[in-house]
Structure 1
Amino acid sequence: MLSGLNAALVRLGVWAPVASERVGDLHGPVMVLGFMGTLISLERAQALRNSLAYLAPALLGLGSILLVAGAPQYLGKLLLFDGTVAFVVLALALWLRAPLGLVAAQVLGALMAALAAGLWLVVEIAALVPLLAAFLVVTIAAERAELAQLTMGRRAVPTLLAMGSLLALSASLAVVAPQVGGRIFGAACLVTALWLFRDDVGRRMVRADGLRRFNAVSLLAGNFWLAVAGIVWIVVGQPAGRGAYDITIHGVFLGFGLSMIIAHAPIIFPAVLGRPLPYRPVMWVPLGVLHVGMVVRALGDLTGIDALFKSGGIVTVTSLLLFAAAVVSSVVKR
Structure 2
Amino acid sequence: MLCLAGGVLTGLVRAGTNLPEQLSFNAAIHSILVISGFFGTVIGLERAVATQRLWPYLAPLFSGLAGLALLLALDLTVVSLLFTLGSLCFVLASIHVYKKHPATHAMVLLLAAALWLIGNSLWLLQGTFWTSIPYGLSFLVLTIAGERLELTRFLPPKPFSKIFFIAIVFLIIVGTILSGFNGFIHNTWLGIGYAALAIWLLRFDIARRTIRQSGVTRFVAVCLLSGYAWLLVGGLLLTDLITLGVFQRDAGIHSIALGFIFTMVIGHAPIIFPAVMRVPIPFSIIFYIPLLLIESGVSLRLCAAFLSSTTLREAGAVVNAVAILAFILCLLWQVRLGVRSIKNPHD
Instruction: Give the TM-score of the pair, scaled to structure 1.
Output: 0.93
Identity over aligned pairs, percent: 30
Shift of 1:202: 2.6
Aligned to 2:207: 202
Unaligned runs of 5+ in 2: 339-347
1:2-36, CA deviations, whole angstroms, 9 ceiling, x for partnerless residues?
Answer: 11111112212213355566521111001000111
Provide the rounded CA distance (Å) in 1 between the counterparts of 2:191 and 2:250: 14
Provide the rounded CA distance (Å) in 2 between the counterparts of 1:194 and 1:133: 18
CA contact (8 A) 2:7 2:30 kept: yes
Shift of 1:240: 11
Provide the rounded CA distance (Å) in 2 between the counterparts of 1:123 and 1:223: 34
Shift of 1:214: 1.1
Shift of 1:110: 0.6
CA contact (8 A) 1:175 1:181 kept: no
| Number of residues of Structure 1 aligned to a counterpart in Structure 2 | 333
CA contact (8 A) 1:53 1:90 kept: yes
1:146-200, CA deviations, whole angstroms, 9 ceiling, x for partnerless residues?
Answer: 2342127366654443322221122112222579972121111111000100111
Say which one has the larger Rg: 2
Provide the rounded CA distance (Å) in 2 between the counterparts of 1:314 and 1:90: 37
Q: Larger deviation: 77-86 or 20-29?
A: 20-29
Please give the residue correspondences for 1:33-72 in structure 2 after superposition, counting only pairs within 5 Å: 33-72=36-75
Please give the residue correspondences for 1:56-205 in structure 2 after superposition, counting only pairs within 5 Å: 56-121=59-124, 122=126, 124-151=128-155, 153=157, 157-176=162-181, 182-205=187-210
Aligned to 1:288: 292
1:31-67, CA deviations, whole angstroms, 9 ceiling, x for partnerless residues?
Answer: 0001111111110100001111100011011101111
CA 1:60–1:241: 2 relative to 1, 3 Å:
farther
Provide the rounded CA distance (Å) in 1 between the counterparts of 2:109 and 2:249: 27
The equivalent position to 1:302 in structure 2, one of 300, 306, 313, is 306
Provide the rounded CA distance (Å) in 2 between the counterparts of 1:135 and 1:142: 10
The RMSD of aligned alpha carbons is 2.3
Shift of 1:88: 0.7
**Corresponding position: 1:247 with 2:251:** yes
CA contact (8 A) 1:30 1:64 kept: yes
Provide the rounded CA distance (Å) in 1 between the counterparts of 2:16 and 2:156: 44
4+ residue runs over 6 A deviation: 178-181
CA 1:184–1:34: 2 relative to 1, 3 Å:
same
**Corresponding position: 1:314 with 2:309:** no
**Corresponding position: 1:223 with 2:256:** no
Provide the rounded CA distance (Å) in 2 between the counterparts of 1:300 and 1:311: 9
- Matched letter for residue 321 of structure 1: L
Aligned to 2:276: 272
**Corresponding position: 1:332 with 2:317:** no
CA contact (8 A) 1:296 1:308 kept: yes
Give the helix-richer structure, 1 or 2.
Answer: 1
- Matched letter for residue 139 of structure 1: T
Provide the rounded CA distance (Å) in 1 between the counterparts of 2:156 and 2:66: 38
Provide the rounded CA distance (Å) in 1 between the counterparts of 2:184 and 2:82: 31
CA 1:62–1:194: 2 relative to 1, 3 Å:
same
